[in-house]
Amino acid sequence: RHGAGLTPPVPPPQAEERILKKVRRKIRNKQSAQDSRRRKKEYLDGLESRAAACSAQNQELRKKVQELEKRNGSLLRQLQALIKRTSNKAAQTSTCVLV
């Protein structure tokens, strides 16, 4: 017989072990969830950092492409002018020879 209700009944050892296992599992799950959130945040921070670096590099490359296209156009005009001068001299030379 229990006392006058002053102390709660002691659960049997098996029940106590089940309660402890349940509490331990909840603690492990909570820790696992925290770790998962931390890893996800680190991963996303890394992606954001890489995206910013790629965007900066992309901007630099676009600028370089624009400069190279401008330089290419200039060289093309120079080449066309040189070809025109060369062909005019060849025509003049042949005319002189024929005279």
Tell me: the pLDDT tens digits for 26-71? 999 999 999 999 999 999 999 999 999 999 999 999 999 999 999 9
Contact 75, 69 (CB under 8 A): no
Q: By 3-state DSSP, what share of the chain in percent is helix, strand and coil, each rounded to 5?
A: 85, 0, 15
Residue 74 has pLDDT above 80, yes or no: yes
> How much is the mean pLDDT over the chain?
88
- Distance (Å, whole) CA 74 – CA 72: 5
Is the pLDDT at 72 greater than 60? The verdict is yes
Rounded percentage of the chain residues whose pLDDT exceeds 70: 83
Q: Is the pTM of this model over 0.75?
A: no
pLDDT higher than threshold 80 for residue 1: no
